[in-house]
Amino acid sequence: MSKTVVSTYVLIAINLLVFGVLAIKQQSLMMNSNADVLEILHVGANLNPLTLGGEPWRMITSMFLHYGILHLLVNMYALYVLGTSLEPPLGTTRFLLVYFFCGIAAGIASLVFNIYIASAGASGALFGLFGYRLGAEVIGSFNDRQKLLNIFLNFVIFVVINTVIAAGFNVDVPGHAGGFVAGTVLATLQFKLRWLIQNKFLAVLLLLLCATLVVLPRDQVEYYRIYQRVLNLDNHTGNLYKSTTTDTGLRDSLVATLPRWDTISLMLNRVKGIPPELTADTAVLKDYIQLRRQGTFYRIRLIERESYIYYDSIELLDAKFKDLPQLKYILNYKIPEGGQPSEDTVALDDSQLQPAKVYYDAHWKETNDIASSKFYRIGHKDSLDRWQGVVGDYYANGDIQMKGRYQRDIKDGIFIYYSDHHTYESAGRYDNEQAVGKWENFHWNGALESEVYYGDESFTATVFDSLGNQQVINGNGKSRRWYPNGQILEEGEYRNGKKEGLWYGFHQDGSPYYKEQFRANRLVHGVSEGRDGRRYVYDHLSEYPFPVNGMPSFKKYLNENKRTFSNSIHGKVKIVFSVGVDGSTFNYVILAGLSHENDTEAKRLLQEGPKWRPALLHGQEKVPSQGYLEIDF
């Protein structure tokens, strides 16, 4: 029988040293943040899918990790009290064998009965030492009730304090119970049945206990590995969007990911013996995998067809994602990497924006008469009253009319337009207010009407009638459109993607409406006839708004009414604006500005200046249009 307690002090020293190293690294004594908990897990806490998934050493390392200084001090005090009373009579070797036997038994109980709870601390082993001592005292000193009472009270106090301290970290009740049972069993075998008296037999039993890890069920391991596959594929896909520079490359990469989603789905369906606690999470995970696969498919189709209407499908999927029930067990144990936020995160500070709802009349002119408004817009505006970020336009009845994104009042990004009978009208992309890339236009019934590509010039690649019959192929063919009553509305020819030659239009009763001559998409000459019999002769200039008194007169007005500022910057303010059928100007958007004063002055000059003649459809019908002006300062 040894009188020393060297192993007790060594165990305490190791626990203190390990905690000190972690506390310095984490710069925290309380160890109560998510980052602290993740770090403890990474350096050796006991977690079923990790321990049984190839890291059995966690059974030992977890016994020397603690969730904060209070957790450590309570356990070390209990270890000191128990060690100084048990190690001298047991001897150092047997004390260590009992300590680690109870600690490993606690770890095994935690693996078997817990569902994804990371266990750490000396508590399991200490519960075992309490059980061992209580068992020994009950068997050997049953008549000494005061001694038993003192031991029991110390045990109860230890349980209460340990439970309160570890409450924020999922108390490992199975682990504590497993350690206590293991200690009690050892005491019974030794003091009641007189077995395992020799240390070598206890050592063999300890090895056999460790060997049981091989036969423990792996259901949590399999589910965890599938969960990690989902996380990894999600991260991989996200990196593709960030790093792939071409649409073709992105499409090819996304195509390669589709089978991986199918494989994960198949693996999850094949997992046997999933614990009842994971049934609900498994169902959610299956739905999530299918939604992610479907979203990947839509993005592939979007790239292949360059059809932005797939964003609607993706948006519907996003809504389904939000409706998925919350997982009970979030198995993402990766420590977030530090660094600067991405451009998408810092591009727009939402805290500086204010929600806005604006009403418009039939010509998209802002109005305060809500009752007679035809449209309204919901989005956010900045301090300069400019639309910023995602914007939605709606018909007066609440049906969607447009989805898009603005940057400083400028259309920038994907825009989708809808008819008032719930079909697509057009979809494409703007870059700094200019249509770019492929735009799709649709008939009244939602059928594809045309595909037009915009760059330095426009190119009409395909045209279809409302029944889906293709009229223009690769930019060549004759286009013909009809009224709902079957009368022909317009016909003409496309050559190399542009309107060419004579185009004819007709009134709904079949009478001639206009005859227009095009050369490479440019209106050279046109003649139209109104319902009243009047004839109109026009060319491409009629398609653009124009100052009623002519541009020289308007520029004279600008020069005579421009205000100068002490800090004025010399240059041009480039501005686009809407021109109503009544000749008024509104919806001013600065494409390229100089300063707030100059930009505001440019808007004032337009707002207070002479009226404009709106664009004329077929030389006679006034239509809302967009003007462009450069004002020198």
Annotated catalytic residue: which of 110, 123, 426, 625? 123
β-bridge pairing 410-411 and 424-431? unpaired
Quote the radius of gyration of the chain (alpha carbons, Å): 38
User: Which listed residue (66, 176, 363, 380) is catalytic?
Assistant: 176
**Neighbouring residues of 612: CB distance < 8 A, sequence distance ≥ 6:** 545, 546, 547, 548, 579, 583, 584, 585, 627
618 is catalytic: no
CA atoms of 576 and 599, how far apart (whole Å): 12
Contact yes or no for 449/464 (Cβ under 8 A): yes
Distance, in Å, from the CA atom of 335 to the CA atom of 35, rounded to the nearest integer, reads: 7
Q: What count of other Cβ atoms lies within 10 Å of the Cβ of residue 296? A: 19
Q: Which long-range contacts (CB under 8 A, 24 or more apart) does 422-426 make?
A: 424/309
Cβ atoms of 490 and 481 within 8 Å: the answer is yes
- Phi first, then psi: what are they for 559, rounded to 5°? -65, -35
Q: Which two tokens stand for residue 225?
A: 């590995």
Give how far the C-alpha of residue 171 lies from the chain's centroid of Cα atoms, to the nearest Å. Answer: 32
In angstroms, the Cα distances linking 229 to 9, 114, 283, 419, 433 are 44, 22, 16, 42, 42
Which ranges of 141-246 does DSSP label H, i.e. alpha helix? 145-165, 173-187, 199-211, 219-243
Report the interhelical angle of 310-323 vs 279-305 (nearest 10°): 170
With tokens 């390392």, the residue in question is 61
Distance between CA atoms of 627 and 633, rounded to whole angstroms?
Answer: 19
Determine the Cα–Cα distance for residues 119 and 58; give it in Å rounded to an integer.
10
Token pair 């499409």 is found at 251
Identify whether the C-beta of residue 188 lies closer than 8 Å to the C-beta of residue 134. no
Of 348, 412, 402, 345, whose CA–CA distance to 380 is shortest? 348
> Which two structure tokens, joined as six digits, stand for 351?
């805290």
Euclidean distance between CA atoms 278 and 49, whole angstroms: 14
**123 catalytic, yes or no?**
yes
**Angle, CA of 469, 474 and 480, to the nearest 5°:** 40
Burial letters 223-258, b for 16+ CB under 10 A, else e: bbebbbbbeebeeebeebeeeeeeeeebbebbeebe
Residue 471 tokens read as 């009229």
Instruction: Report whether 113 contacts 105 (CB < 8 A).
Output: no
C-alpha angle with apex 568: 563 to 570, nearest 5 degrees? Answer: 100
Put residue 401 in one of left, alpha, beta given phi > 0 → left and psi -120 to 50 → alpha: alpha
Report the catalytic residues: 123, 176
